[in-house]
Structure 1
Amino acid sequence: MASAHLEYIAAGGNRHPCAADWSEELLAYGSGHNIAIWRPENNNHKGVETLLAGHTEIVNAVKLFRDPTSKKRVLISGSADKTVCVWIEQNNASFELVKRLTEHTASINVIGLLPEAGVFATGAADATLKIWKLRVSENADVEADLIQNINLTPRYFPLAIALTKLQSGQLVIAVGGTTANIQIYLQDKDKDTSSLAAKLTGHEAWVRALDFTRESSKPDSDFLLASASQDKYIRLWRFHAGTELPEVAAAASDPAMTVFGRSLSNKAHWIGEGDSKHSITFEALLIGHEDWIYTARWFTKNVEDATPQLLSSSADNSLAMWERDADGFWTCATRLGEISAQKGSTTATGSTGGFWIGLWSPSGQTVVSLGRTGSWRMWSYDNKEDRWLRELGISGHVRSVKDVAWSNDGTQLMSTSSDQTTRLFSQWKQETAHTWHEMARPQIHGYDLNCLSAIGTTQFISGADEKLLRVFNKPKAIAQLLAKLGDTAEDAEDADLPDAANMPVLGLSNKAINALTAEEEAAAEPSEEVTITKSTLDLAHPPFEDHLARHTLFPELEKLYGHGYEISCVAASHDGSLVATACRASSLDHAVIRLYETKEWREIRPALTAHSLTVTCLSFSPDDKYLLSVGRDRQWALFARTEGTNYELAASNPKGHSRMILSCSWAPSSSSHIFATAGRDKNVKIWQVASGDGVNAECNLTIPTTAPATSVAFYTGSLAASNTIILAAGTEEGNIAISAISTDDWTLKEQYQITKQMLPSSAINALRWRPSVNEEEEKQAQLAVASEDLSVRIFAFEILPGA
């Protein structure tokens, strides 16, 4: 019986300050409309373990915690689909959706939580705040009752919520958002409902983050509220029990305390009555960030009289850790992130676009941040060196992945996406584990990328919405890094490659450059051009995000012109001598296939004609004798090689499918010119080329699918039986079926469906089997999947169907 497991998932994080949370060893973050589960402190560096599919729109808010009553781990998520989902952990990092709350009428932007009280609050773009009571039983039954609906007035959208309980047991809710004020709601005595008790003023722009902490572990300790804003400042507020003001507030009311000519008002706000009476006073103004502040999170050590620390993340590309010194002043004790001359640059490789999320680990020894590129950066505190050291994070695309392609030797996988990047993944072979990582970001573009194909082992070609194709060479530094980390010998032709590449300001063409030694860099005259030292790329681990974004570009070799519209597909011949391309088209004039030879990169004329609408997929037969094309006009066309590099139309079927054909693939060469087509008519068809008086192809088998078939790929390795061909087919719903087909009687011997928990939650855009790296060592088949749900996945099959 066939079996499969997920070898690797790459999925970028959503750029929303509330879209991640870290509890115990698990970090959960929104990735598109999925939720990714990752163990940051796992020494094996495995990366994302699973993606939870339950939402239909982008996930904006995530909270992860262990319920104190049932001891079950609970995850609460909010999405732009207007729903709140409650998940319960079933076993190790596997969560099940048990409750969906649909009371909101607009996108959920933020979730606030107080586990010990069993209460959480949700804020949405309908300008409402909803308070919920959560009950989780030991058998994982969940009840979530709506206690109160608060219409925020004057009308604004909540972006930050923080909850705490006063000594009297009353619940306090702080709310901030698209207003400069912070509203404080206090629970009414002997009721579950809350009412507005105070309005804190001082910020001059939207409030992005709020977080409560106790000042110390003493029972009568004051509470501190941190508020972070787009005005670049963090304000601290003190909640003090009793009818008298705290000493700090009285001292701070000195009129001499001013900043930038404006007085720091310390008006006291009073909430509660009797035993629950508290004063709220301004405590401190934290100045240091140079741009909007997105998150602020407290961390307090479980040590008596330990001073709380505050972690803030900002659009200025930095994380800041704030502590109170011996004199009682709050200062920035540590700053992590980007500090460079390129900060704020508008070039694609200049600025990281800011840090949107900053999180403490539960131990406080590790911090992570999420940036514009969807990648997580990580730092861990080293007690011996008394400083924070960079650790290996994870990365992934932040928009739909359009295509994937393996290098001819099977050692590298490349993906391209609507997020305008091309990424290269490869294995890091350590003694204890072999894990996949993003090793390079060959292309950072200004247009959405649609397709790519590998040309040999050192080149690739990609097509985008810019109507032309670009050819790239692998730089020497990346070739050496891949050989070093992948434990393989360097290719002889790598010696002639350029060292690295950079992208000129306001340009899209990666320019080859040579890396300098430290001595050469010191002797070089100052220049506006980016220089790279050899040591920068001499790494003992996969590159960090700043390396990926700046130093791993591939130099551009050639541009291919000729098409009049956005490029739709590209394919390279197996011998690497030809490239076939097509573009989006609504007429015969543009629905042509253009061929380019790869020696001089000249177009072979005339262009091949057969289709009347967009060609959606191109594929060369294993012996390069035929070029197969399929399109939106519902037909497939077969072009036969005549002499040299010339192809001519040999056969076509105008009614190959009853609806548009979206994908095609050739079976291995041992199967004598068999190909498959996948259509929107929910059918996958297997055809065999028969060459008698002329070339023709007969349909030998039709395999129905549950949804429109969007991608097909034949397995090309050696694990299949001699009379069996293995075909993977993906659908618009994200399903993947592996079929074993007998070539003796053209019957379906066996079909294996990958389980739903491992599948993408959106359409499959591309399927590619990994070429055999070493047939003697090949023990499993690996399938790469590109999906509309932002993910790149690699499935490993220990046993194939029918094998």
Structure 2
Amino acid sequence: MGEVERLFIAAGCNRIVNNVSWGASNLVSFGAHNAVAIFCPLKAQILTTLPGHKAAVNSTYWLPNSKFAFRAQQLQLHYLLSGDADGVIMLWEYSLGEKKWRHVLTVPEKHKKGVTCISGIMLSTNEALFASTSSDGTVNIWEIILPLAAGGNCKLSHLEALSIGSKTMVALALAELPGTAGNLVLAMGGLDNKVHLYCGERTGKFLRACELKGHSDWIRNLDFSLPVEMDGKRNTLLLVSSSQDKTIRIWKLVPCEIVDSSKRKGVIGLASYIEGPVLIAGSSSYQISLESLLIGHEDWVYSVQWQPPSAMSEERTGYIQPQSILSASMDKTMMIWQPERTSGIWMNVVTVGELSHCALGFYGGHWSPNGDAILAHGYGGSFHLWKDVGVDAANWQPQKVPSGHYAAVSDISWARSGKFLLSVSHDQTTRVFAPWLNHTADENSWHEIARPQVHGHDMNCVTLIQGKGNYRFVSGADEKVARVFEAPLSFLKTLSCAVSAESDVQEDIQQDVQILGANMSALGLSQRPIYVHAAQETPERSGSEVVDTLETVPEAIPVTFTEPPIEDQLAWHTLWPESHKLYGHGNELFSLCCDHEGKLVASSCKAQTLSVAEIWLWQVGSWKAVGRLQSHNLTVTHMEFSHDDNLLLSVSRDRQFSVFSIKRKGTEEISYELVARQEAHKRIIWACSWNPFGHEFATGSRDKMVKIWGVENESSVKLLLTLPTFSSSVTALSWLGVDRQSKHGLLAVGMENGLIELWHLSAIYKDGCETVPEFTAKLASRLDSFMCHASTVQRLAWRNSEKVEDCRNVQLASCGADNCVRVFEVNVS
């Protein structure tokens, strides 16, 4: 019992350039807070996260990456480099056969400041070189001898430390020079608007060779092609650079003697070029020239990448380097550039994305290993994937990708039916995740299916209203107002498509919903309803009307989705209308909870005095304030109603818990009184949870303790059990009832270090005493660190905790400060 499987991970990408890498393994890596996340583009699912970094992950790089995929067909081991904001670089090993990850080593000499870029090159199947740059003004070059078998040792040698000075370099590219044995070229670009080229040997020093001028703003990205065939020889190297001056430049490196021979023939045509500096590498020299200047983007061009080479046919060995470049820009477009067949002039042949004022654009663009898909990551931590599905002509269509929050996730709440999970985050969004039934494979895969609230403040807490009726939730943010949202018709229909059992959804829902969706207000603080009858009328705009200004917000078009929506649809067309605002608190909201009947909501805010720390009770439906409970002196950090709704438990920064008795008198009146208040821990109490089968509850604190308490006759509280001290502060608790007769349950414990443990709790009744039993606790499962969060666990929640006695497997959701929402499947049989 207690076996745990990972079902789902949602996480957004850190909003930084050079953060994403697409490997020859056909997996994509990216930094999600201080973990490295790995996602599979074919499944549109995040497979795992790699914990270990103590700061935000800035840069990831696969060895081999998609450029060398044609050589990596037989490789069973793939390697990944990751660098963070503290200057630490780690190396990870992935076994393709076993699908297992291993932390191989941490690079011994770290940068003094954050890593901004890592670039590498595979010299053979087990030999690689990589360079890293940082805002500390240095570029380090390392050689790695990779193990031939899984679990082997890596040999790492430091070749060179180049001091750049105050003009930081933010882009690197490495290549082998064609026609020479073992000579390498390193290109770097950054704040001084120049491309600097260094030459070196595999084992020796890297010497400054020359610099290329032309860009008029920071250089953001560089990429070398593999040697291109010209005149029957692979001796030409192409370098592409992109800049904040909105342009892309292609530079050509050709051995000098070839330039001289063409001059002697007097060939002057469109292909002739402006001669640049000469690069000398050992006994060889190369003429560098500007091959082309590409203008088309309307904003900073953050990334450029050559299309990965493809292997030649079986008769001919080698590869074909396509003349094709992918660029990604802050104008929210990606473009593919290719030379025209007749004139050789580089043209933009494909544009995807949208020129849009509504969101900042793309931080990077990447080719798939076989060149049939392109991936961008954007300002909102989101991914955007297009695939060429055309048969005769190119036809780039958007595809499903994983999504998630790009800032700390502060709270989660299950729908009463367990059909979906709601999360709120400091990225100012509320998101709905649900298992979507795939009819062809007859299996569920989890996806984000709606983004009900996009707000102007960081979100701190949320609760879904339990009980019958339409789905509603209350959210609290860094403002003094709680807001109530109601599911529109478009969401209810989408949900019935997702779960593929319409009768289930319709049991819960009153079908007289007149609101189809919602529109965002200009400041992003409230959401206006779109009514069903109004949706038929499309507003007419006169030709002279200027639509594209910062004040106008695009009209939402709520629709029913028959497959999981993509990022652009989520951001605009899945909003829920706001139905009420709850005024009363004096400070930013901190905690919310709802009773199990769906009749009362309790709320608390940040507080330093008794009067501000009071808990407000709100009547669901009329949304009147029906109670103000005073007990604590500081912020109430967590609250929960007992499963019979007779008691409300609250815990606080003042190290005390309070238990209130709640009595309902008639329809709208309630009475409440403080049953017990007790100082329970030596430090802040972060979490509490009731036993579903009784009036026992657990509290968890910064003092690394979890204590089990029992309420006697709704009048006093007794300490029943103290669990062994945990390895870190306890920040989240959730109690699952497994067997009602024996009061047997599972307590999920989340900690500040990101780890999660499951504990068996069993009740023992002595001497015929039926009131408060004694409890025993035993560790059921300590989740593997690769499955857990890389930072503080903020909340834990069991799915369908009422109906668990009928099933073997139950699901546990968790959210954390590492930007992740996770769902686990736990075997309780």
238-247 or 293-302, which deviates more:
238-247
369-378 or 433-442, which deviates more:
369-378
One of 790, 796, 806 as aligned partner of 1:767: 796
Which residue in the other structure is 1:176 paired with?
A: 189
One of 219, 227, 242 as aligned partner of 2:256: 242
Paired amino acid for 1:40: P
Distance 1:543 1:725, change over 3 A: same
Paired amino acid for 1:362: P
Tell me, yes or no, if structure 1 residue 318 matches structure 2 residue 333: yes
Partners of 1:777 and 1:702 in 2: CA distance = 30
Which residue in the other structure is 1:680 paired with?
A: 702
Q: CA deviation at 1:732?
A: 1.1
Q: Any residues of structure 2 matched to 1:2-401 within 5 Å, and which?
A: 2-23=2-23, 24-42=25-43, 45=44, 47-66=45-64, 72-90=77-95, 92-101=98-107, 102-116=109-123, 118-139=128-149, 140-153=152-165, 155-166=166-177, 167-169=179-181, 170-187=183-200, 192-214=204-226, 216-217=228-229, 219-243=233-257, 245=259, 266-272=274-280, 275-299=283-307, 300-303=309-312, 307-326=322-341, 327-339=343-355, 343-344=356-357, 350-351=358-359, 353-384=360-391, 386-401=394-409
Deviations 1:681-713 (A, max 9, x none): 21111111111xx61111111113222111111
Which residue in the other structure is 1:624 paired with?
A: 645
Partners of 2:46 and 2:104 in 1: CA distance = 22
> Secondary structure in 2 aligned to 1:547?
helix
Q: Retained in 2: the 8 A contact 1:64–1:76?
A: yes
Q: CA deviation at 1:367?
A: 1.0
Partners of 1:282 and 1:363 in 2: CA distance = 28
Partners of 2:460 and 2:641 in 1: CA distance = 19
Which residue in the other structure is 2:658 paired with?
A: 637
Q: Retained in 1: the 8 A contact 2:454–2:524?
A: no
Partners of 1:541 and 1:252 in 2: CA distance = 61
Q: CA deviation at 1:494?
A: 4.2
Q: Retained in 2: the 8 A contact 1:521–1:533?
A: no
Q: Retained in 1: the 8 A contact 2:76–2:95?
A: no
Partners of 1:676 and 1:40 in 2: CA distance = 41
Partners of 1:95 and 1:131 in 2: CA distance = 25
Distance 1:515 1:79, change over 3 A: farther
5+ residue gaps, structure 1: 258-263, 345-349
Partners of 1:730 and 1:768 in 2: CA distance = 11
Distance 1:486 1:517, change over 3 A: farther
Q: CA deviation at 1:749?
A: 4.5
Tell me, yes or no, if structure 1 residue 557 matches structure 2 residue 571: no
Q: CA deviation at 1:779?
A: 3.6
Q: CA deviation at 1:292?
A: 0.8
Partners of 1:18 and 1:608 in 2: CA distance = 51
Q: Any residues of structure 2 matched to 1:676-755 within 5 Å, and which?
A: 676-691=698-713, 695-704=715-724, 705-716=726-737, 722-744=742-764, 745-755=774-784
Deviations 1:191-224 (A, max 9, x none): 6111111111111111000000036355433111
Partners of 1:104 and 1:678 in 2: CA distance = 38
> Secondary structure in 2 aligned to 1:659?
coil
Distance 1:248 1:584, change over 3 A: farther
Q: CA deviation at 1:666?
A: 1.2
Tell me, yes or no, if structure 1 residue 521 matches structure 2 residue 524: no
Deviations 1:332-360 (A, max 9, x none): 10000124xxx11xxxxx32x20112110
Deviations 1:26-82 (A, max 9, x none): 11111111111111023xx4x001000121111111111249898631111111121
Q: CA deviation at 1:672?
A: 2.4
Deviations 1:505-530 (A, max 9, x none): 12410110136799743878899674
294-303 or 412-421, which deviates more:
294-303
Partners of 2:739 and 2:57 in 1: CA distance = 40
Paired amino acid for 1:487: S
Q: Retained in 1: the 8 A contact 2:462–2:473?
A: yes
> Secondary structure in 2 aligned to 1:394?
coil
Q: CA deviation at 1:488?
A: 2.3
Q: Retained in 1: the 8 A contact 2:522–2:553?
A: no
Partners of 1:210 and 1:401 in 2: CA distance = 34
Distance 1:616 1:797, change over 3 A: same
> Secondary structure in 1 aligned to 2:819?
coil
Q: Retained in 2: the 8 A contact 1:516–1:532?
A: no
Q: Retained in 1: the 8 A contact 2:757–2:781?
A: yes
> Secondary structure in 2 aligned to 1:179?
coil
Distance 1:246 1:123, change over 3 A: farther
Tell me, yes or no, if structure 1 residue 782 matches structure 2 residue 811: yes
Partners of 1:497 and 1:703 in 2: CA distance = 51
> Secondary structure in 2 aligned to 1:540?
coil
One of 483, 500, 505 as aligned partner of 1:487: 500
One of 436, 450, 467 as aligned partner of 1:440: 450
Distance 1:727 1:545, change over 3 A: same
TM-score, scaled relative to structure 1: 0.91
Distance 1:654 1:550, change over 3 A: same
Distance 1:94 1:546, change over 3 A: same
Q: Retained in 1: the 8 A contact 2:253–2:286?
A: yes
Partners of 2:218 and 2:365 in 1: CA distance = 18
Partners of 1:252 and 1:412 in 2: CA distance = 72
Q: Retained in 2: the 8 A contact 1:742–1:748?
A: yes
Partners of 1:418 and 1:365 in 2: CA distance = 36
Distance 1:225 1:306, change over 3 A: closer
Tell me, yes or no, if structure 1 residue 585 matches structure 2 residue 607: yes
One of 410, 423, 435 as aligned partner of 1:427: 435
Partners of 1:57 and 1:328 in 2: CA distance = 46
Partners of 2:42 and 2:422 in 1: CA distance = 27
Q: Any residues of structure 2 matched to 1:530-609 within 5 Å, and which?
A: 530-533=554-557, 537-605=559-627, 607-609=628-630
Q: CA deviation at 1:778?
A: 3.4
Q: How many residues are aligned here?
A: 772
Q: Retained in 1: the 8 A contact 2:188–2:197?
A: yes
Q: CA deviation at 1:21?
A: 1.0
5+ residue gaps, structure 2: 313-318, 765-773
Q: Retained in 2: the 8 A contact 1:294–1:313?
A: yes
Partners of 1:412 and 1:90 in 2: CA distance = 34
Tell me, yes or no, if structure 1 residue 613 matches structure 2 residue 624: no
Q: CA deviation at 1:665?
A: 1.0
539-548 or 485-494, which deviates more:
485-494
Q: Retained in 2: the 8 A contact 1:410–1:772?
A: no
2-11 or 239-248, which deviates more:
239-248
Q: Retained in 2: the 8 A contact 1:568–1:582?
A: yes
Paired amino acid for 1:280: I
Paired amino acid for 1:468: V
Partners of 2:350 and 2:364 in 1: CA distance = 17
Partners of 1:683 and 1:246 in 2: CA distance = 78
Q: CA deviation at 1:313?
A: 0.6
Partners of 1:567 and 1:182 in 2: CA distance = 50
Partners of 1:77 and 1:235 in 2: CA distance = 28
Deviations 1:225-265 (A, max 9, x none): 000001110011000112453899999999999xxxxxx99
Partners of 1:277 and 1:205 in 2: CA distance = 29
> Secondary structure in 1 aligned to 2:331?
coil
